[in-house]
Amino acid sequence: MDPMIRLILAQGMLGLNNGVFYAMLSLGLAVIFGLLNVVNFAHGALYMLGAFLALILYSYAGAWVGLDALHIGFWPALIIAPLLVACFGMLIERFMLRRLYKLDPIYSLLLTFGVTLVLQGLFINFFNASGTPYPGMPESLRGVVNLGFMMFPKYRLFVIIFSIVVCFVVWYMIERTRIGSRLRAGTENPELVKAFGINVPLMVMLTFGFGTGLAGLAGVLAAPIYSVSPLMGANLIIVIFAVVVIGGMGSIAGAVVTGFSLGLVEGITKVFYAPAANTVIFLLMVIILLVRPNGLFGRQG
Amino acid sequence: MSTTTLTKPMLKIENLHAWYGESHVLHGINLELAEGQLITLLGRNGAGRSTTLRSIMGMVDRRTGSIAINGEEFITKPAHRITPDGRIGFCPEERGIFGSLTVEENLMLPPAVGPDGMPIEELFEMFPNLANVRKRMGTRLSGGEQQMLAIARILRTGARLLLLDEITEGLAPVIVKTLGRVIRDLKSRGYTIVLVEQNFRFAAPLADRHYVIEHGEVVDTIESGDVESSMDRLNHYLSV
Amino acid sequence: MSNTTTDIGEFEENTGEPEHRTRSRIWQGIFWVALIGFLLIAPALLYPVFVMQLLCFALFAAAFNLLIGFTGLLSFGHAAFFGGAAYIAGHALKVWGFPPLLGIATGTLFAAALGWAVGSLAIRRQGIYFAMITLALAQIVYFLVLQLPFTGGEDGLQGIPRGHLLGFIDLNQPLAMYYTVAAIFLIGFLVIYRIIHSPFGQVLQAIRENEPRALSLGYNVDRFKLLAFVLSAALAGLAGSTKALVFQFASLTDAHWQMSGEVILMTLLGGMGTIFGPVVGSFIVVALQHALSGIGSWVQVVIGGTFIACVLLFRRGIVGELARLLKINSL
């Protein structure tokens, strides 16, 4: 195979691997924004929280309960951590965000920004600011697979496939099921949905929990790849905002597709001009704003 | 057939006030109807007819007074309990069809509020036009289809008290005629109905009683038997 | 719903009875006297460097408030103008050997140009998207500052000379530097005050209150927004350039998103849409950071907690609440 093509494919795979996180986070952001009209700045911090919970479950939780030999591993963490993050999200919704719905949405953005600073500050205090490796990667996912054009880490391949499945399930749930139809209806006209006897405040709380749970899930998936650091979410959320401006928050499928594609674009940019790789998404955002101000899948301005 | 002194009203509203933000929209509405009756709320645009329905549904910012359904007080209920506890079906102005939901999804959206909701197949019999567009998205329906869907949607839930807001507005005469037939059918099946109508000719033959609302108050009540003799008054109220 | 936007600052000019307005004027007068009195005697009471830091951030916050408080636009990227200008001014002073005022002017002009570029992109979307776009664009500036060869990367731009003001006043003298900064602050603050009370400022507030109505009245809303954005960016740049001169370095933190957050907090805490709020808010935040500098990154927790408290309990801010207690419209 031509080495150039080989390189593009390899970087594309690595880019797709970042795209996983763009897709899952912007998906959650879009689900939340649709129903709550809230842009959750804390989404990055909750992703970080998910990663830390995985780390804590493996390295610390056992010792805390007096069982030094107990390490709660990756697979249980993949379920427990997102649930805990979702609960935390629901507490934020129930006791803070709920009081801001009648106000300009910038207040909920500022509130969640405050939550971000608090979470980040707490973890900087208790953990190494420059990051801790996650030691709990399951044995079955160690090693590499031969993709023909490259040796690709097995775990990363798992993450790509797993998250595509997750995104598809979420899309299916929202677009094709009864419960999803309630969510879509609530997005359009929450007042009328309430008048039909559906408990909208509860639905809003669960939706926020679901969206933040997705962020927590992404965090657990990220833990074995990147080092677990208090700042891992902060830098990501800004990229996610650019992704969301490009894709528009009006469409679930749009958010997912945009997320994966931008990861791919970022990876391939590395082949041609590496220094631009971390700005290419922002530059694409500029171009989109110039030619299609409402975003690729934007329904509203 | 109609009596002004009801022994057991199904819906009884007393001294209902309602606000949107700071603006005081209803100034003490009083009305009542017995099970199986149909009343209309007549009046000009902005008089407070739709707001009366929305107040019953808890869709205003603030409301005071009394709304009793089958003797139970509803004024303090949270919005999402009103429909199930009162077995109400609400058909809002502008029809409230969800554009991102298919016809079927729209139909299935409201949770059941009682045991004897109409089965889907019966609804498609009642509104044959809908049967052909089951999978179509709400945004792609005609006005008539939307209106039929809005009515079908609440019949499926088993609601017994129907609040219908301007269901004939902007529809072709042939569809209005169909709707008239549907309402008559519903009444004969024992549904209790509050109809907000602009189209008096549509409403007159259906109603047991007409309430005329102006500036957020009931200014006149006309029994169906007295409509003929009250035409002058009605024309005065409804003339633009 | 009209009640969704009215909550951003309860400031309304030219409403209320005459006595109301007189009372408003008297209290504004008291604040002006207090501010100028403070500027004059502060170096006798506090470290001049500390006061200069206060003033730079106060000007930064006041510039930011011009957007959020008086135009209703939330920029989440103002650090780009503050920090970007600091780097450009620093470079002009250090490498090109510009005299102090020209160096500051260069930084300010750069911020204005950057503001034009960022603003014309961001106003293409409304509301919450505007905030996200400004944040993302500011991140480009941050990456540039990190990667361009002249910025010193992680170390920042160090050793910026203070030089001689007008060729003969040595700014290495602490008091000379201090009164220069005080004058720059006062001029910047007066410019903002004038903008708010000009016909242009009235249109901005009309846009904040109700954009569609302003549009239907025939105002070219986008042009007004853009001009407000450029002015706000330029004044933020003035603050950043001055800070670079005072501290003799420009650092990455000046351009970091967290700085954009801090200026929002200063304005929110003091009172969005008030005249003196940003000054009060920035004083408190800077003083808080100094007082808490011993507890390390707990500062961030405190700052975040203050944010949450402000948004939930205290949306008018300190000066806004004070104005409400005094029953006056603008302070």
- Check if A282 contacts C (Cβ < 8 Å): yes
- According to DSSP, residue B29 is labeled E
Q: Which of B81, B99, B109 sits opposite A181 (nearest CB)?
A: B109
* pLDDT at residue C152, as a whole number: 82
* pLDDT at residue A224, as a whole number: 95
CB atoms within 10 A of CB B3: 11
Cβ-Cβ contacts under 8 Å between A and B: the total is: 58
Name every chain A residue with its beta carbon within 8 A of the beta carbon of B108: 178, 181
* pLDDT at residue B8, as a whole number: 77
pLDDT reading at B61 higher than 50: yes
Q: List the one residue out of A177, A245, A224 whose CA is nearest residue A26.
A: A245
Cα B65 to Cα B56: distance, rounded to the nearest angstrom: 11
CB atoms within 10 A of CB B224: 18
E strands along C134-201, which residues?
Answer: 164-165, 169-170
Cβ proximity of A214 and A28 under 8 Å: yes
- Measure in Å the smallest separation between the Cα of B62 and chain C Cα atoms: 15
* Range B34-57 average pLDDT: 93
Whether residues B101 and A181 touch (CB distance < 8 A) is answered with yes
Q: Which residues contact C176 (CB under 8 A, 6 or more apart)?
A: C165, C169, C170
Q: Which two tokens stand for residue A29?
A: 């952001």
Confidence of residue B10 (pLDDT cuts 50, 70, 90): very high
* pLDDT at residue C5, as a whole number: 40
Q: Residue for token digits 């009328």? A: A192
Q: List the one residue out of B77, B85, C312, C94 whose CA is nearest residue A100.
A: C312
Amino acid A181 reads S
Q: Which domains are present in chain C? A: 24-38+48-325 (1.10.3470)
Name every chain A residue with its beta carbon within 8 A of the beta carbon of B82: 195, 197
Cα distances from A300 to residues A39, A185, A297, C63, in angstroms, run 15, 17, 9, 30
* pLDDT at residue A300, as a whole number: 47
Cβ proximity of C236 and C64 under 8 Å: yes
| Mutant choice from A172, A196, A204 vs B, greatest count of B C-beta within 10 A | A196
Cβ proximity of C271 and C311 under 8 Å: no
Whether residues B98 and A195 touch (CB distance < 8 A) is answered with no
Whether residues B100 and A184 touch (CB distance < 8 A) is answered with yes
Q: Does residue A2 or residue C8 have the better pLDDT?
A: A2
Name every chain C residue with its beta carbon within 8 A of the beta carbon of B21: 1-3
* pLDDT at residue C16, as a whole number: 53
Confidence of residue B55 (pLDDT cuts 50, 70, 90): very high
Torsion of CA A106, A110, A112, A116, to 10 degrees: 150
Q: Which residues contact A164 (CB under 8 A, 6 or more apart)?
A: A260
Cβ proximity of C92 and C240 under 8 Å: no
Angle between helices A200-222 and A154-176 (to 10 degrees): 170
**Of 1.10.3470, 3.30.70, 1.10.10, 1.10.357, which CATH number belongs to A3-291?**
1.10.3470
What are the beta bridge partners of residue C250? C157
Q: Angle at the Cα of B214 (from B28 to B38), degrees rounded to 5?
A: 80
pLDDT reading at B230 higher than 90: no
Q: Which two tokens stand for residue B52?
A: 């009366």
Confidence of residue A251 (pLDDT cuts 50, 70, 90): confident
Cβ proximity of C186 and C36 under 8 Å: yes
Contact partners for chain B, using 3 or more CB pairs closer than 8 A, are: A, C
- Measure in Å the smallest separation between the Cα of A102 and chain B Cα atoms: 11
- Measure in Å the smallest separation between the Cα of A244 and chain B Cα atoms: 21
* pLDDT at residue C13, as a whole number: 46
**Among the listed ranges A79-88, A154-163, C174-183, which one has the minimum average pLDDT value?**
C174-183
CB atoms within 10 A of CB C164: 14
Q: What is the DSSP track for C1-49?
A: -GGGTTTS----TT-S-HHHHHHHHHHHHHHHHHHHHHHHHHHHHS-HH
Which B-chain residues 11-30 have CB contacts (< 8 A) with chain C? 21
State which H helix or E strand residue C287 sits in.
helix C277-291
- According to DSSP, residue C108 is labeled H
Q: Which two tokens stand for residue C268?
A: 């929110």
* pLDDT at residue B240, as a whole number: 54
The tens-digit pLDDT sequence of chain C (331 residues) is 333 343 444 444 445 567 777 888 889 899 999 999 998 888 888 888 999 999 999 999 999 999 999 999 999 999 999 999 999 999 999 989 899 999 999 999 999 999 999 999 999 888 889 999 999 999 999 999 998 888 888 888 888 888 878 878 877 888 888 999 999 999 999 999 999 999 999 999 999 988 888 888 888 899 999 999 999 999 999 999 999 999 999 999 999 999 999 999 999 999 999 999 999 999 999 999 888 888 877 889 999 999 999 999 989 999 999 998 888 877 8
Amino acid A180 reads G
Q: List the one residue out of A29, A16, A101 whose CA is nearest residue A245.
A: A29
* pLDDT at residue B3, as a whole number: 45
* pLDDT at residue A100, as a whole number: 94
Amino acid B9 reads P
Cβ proximity of A33 and A249 under 8 Å: yes
Burial of A257 (0-12, 13-18, 19+ CB in 10 A): middle
ipTM: 0.90
* pLDDT at residue C217, as a whole number: 87
- According to DSSP, residue B111 is labeled P
pLDDT reading at B2 higher than 70: no
- According to DSSP, residue A100 is labeled G
Q: Which domains are present in chain B? A: 38-57+83-238 (3.40.50.300)
CB atoms within 10 A of CB A18: 23
Q: Residues A45-72: pLDDT tens digits? A: 999 999 999 999 999 888 888 887 888 9
Q: Which of A202-206, A268-272, A273-277, C34-38 has the highest mean pLDDT?
A: A202-206
Cβ proximity of A93 and A208 under 8 Å: yes
Cβ proximity of A242 and A282 under 8 Å: yes
| Mutant choice from A104, A273, A283 vs C, greatest count of C C-beta within 10 A | A104
| Three-state DSSP class for residue A63 | helix
Q: What is the DSSP track for C82-102?
A: HHHHHHHHHHHHHTS---HHH
| Three-state DSSP class for residue B90 | strand
CB atoms within 10 A of CB C322: 19
- Check if C1 contacts B (Cβ < 8 Å): yes
Q: Does residue A83 or residue C170 have the better pLDDT?
A: A83
* pLDDT at residue A200, as a whole number: 93
| Three-state DSSP class for residue C275 | coil
Name every chain C residue with its beta carbon within 8 A of the beta carbon of A105: 127-128
**Mean pLDDT, chain A, whole residue set:** 92
pLDDT reading at B39 higher than 70: yes
* pLDDT at residue A130, as a whole number: 86
CB crowding C189-226: b at 16 or more within 10 Å, else e: bebbbebbeeeebebbbbbbeebeebeeeebebeebbb
